[in-house]
A and B are shown apart, each in its own frame.
Chain A
């Protein structure tokens, strides 16, 4: 068996030295956006719930693609409730393009934030067509703020459609620990998907 002598000078020979603990590496920037949970429609429920939402982010964002099982008429509103609050104390506002004109309006004293006309129904005229959207909630853990909801949604059916900007308020200062999204009618199809993301702050 060979014997190797380790000397002070021998160990130091060829060793790179750095003035920074990074040792020549780029600093690590932790990611600011994270997928918390994805929930798909089951075909047997018009409700999707995100529960036990971690309190470790600053903002929440929901991205969705949605269709429901109702076969008559065209589309439905998307409802959003927080922390199981169902009293008629939510307010919502919207601005939308119908394809022929621009409109604005509101939903007052409702049991949910109402995001207008965001879900396609399973009308045979609009096969395999969906409403989509991005919903943002800032500072969802802050217990000194009512929670403002901001949304950009739309649906197009090749001759039908609506594009909408919406706002709403969850009228409580409680930190949001659960969010419920529901269709005004019918059940979400199995091709419906809602994803909840957290933004670090």
Chain B
């Protein structure tokens, strides 16, 4: 009998590629079998800024601290007691030029508050762009079962891809 090695540490759980513009992308019924989660989001958008929420929580249970470069200066800022964790921090979308975000959520199924590291890659060949590294907090000890990616205004355009990975 041939025994194949275990599947890899990183496993694709779910993926969405938009066939029409949408303001929200949701991953639900997330299994609790992994240790960490990673979300990879890329595509173009009509306007506004993307953000993330967990378990459909719209309460002011989120905060973040960001390190950012906008092409001119390096800066840092923070917001607390928010109703979301932003994925971009000042740059806006650019027609025809996609943006790229990652979110790593640590111990998502555990009983601690949930901390995530995010990256923002928004380059538009010279205008309204940023590179950022961010730490976000969701003050909840509940296991994460749902992740929602949204925009404050506008839509993720057709072709936007969001993929959820589990990391053992």
Whether A128 pairs with B112 at a CB distance below 8 angstroms is: yes
**Are B74 and A156 touching (Cβ within 8 A)?**
no
Given contacts A159-B78, A161-B63, A164-B67, 18 further A-B contacts (CB under 8 A): A31-B8, A31-B9, A33-B10, A34-B9, A63-B36, A65-B115, A97-B76, A98-B76, A99-B77, A132-B116, A133-B117, A154-B135, A156-B78, A158-B139, A163-B76, A163-B133, A165-B133, A191-B110
Per the bound structure, the CA–CA distance linking A192 and B134 in Å amounts to 21
- Given A156-B135, A158-B137, A195-B35, A31 and B6 contact (CB-CB distance below 8 Å): yes
A-B CB proximity, top 8 nearest: A154-B135, A97-B76, A97-B67, A31-B8, A99-B78, A161-B65, A102-B74, A156-B137
Number of A-B contacts (CB under 8 A): 133
Q: Check: A18 CB closer than 8 A to any chain B CB.
A: no
Neighbour of A159 across the interface among B74, B80, B115, CB < 8 A: B80
* Interface mask (B111-136 → A, CB under 8 Å = 1, otherwise 0): 11101110000000000000001111
B64 closest partner in A (C-beta): A156
- Interface residue total, chain A, C-beta cutoff 8 A: 44
| Complexed CA–CA distance, A101 and B9 (Å) | 36
Residues of A within 8 A of B66 (CB): 97, 163
Q: Given A133-B117, A156-B115, A159-B80, A102 and B67 touching (CB < 8 A)? A: yes
A interface residue numbers (CB < 8 A to B): 28, 30-35, 38, 63-65, 95-102, 127-134, 152-159, 161-165, 191, 193, 195, 197
The size of the chain B interface, using a CB distance under 8 A, is 41
Q: Which residue of B lies closest to A104 (CB)?
A: B74
For A159, what are the chain B residues with a Cβ–Cβ distance below 8 Å? 63, 78, 80-81
User: In the complex, A14 Cα to B68 Cα: how many Å?
Assistant: 65
Contact B65 A35 (CB under 8 A): no
Q: List 17 A-B contacts (CB under 8 A).
A: A34-B9, A65-B115, A97-B68, A98-B76, A102-B74, A127-B113, A128-B113, A129-B115, A129-B137, A132-B116, A132-B117, A134-B104, A153-B117, A156-B64, A156-B137, A191-B111, A195-B35
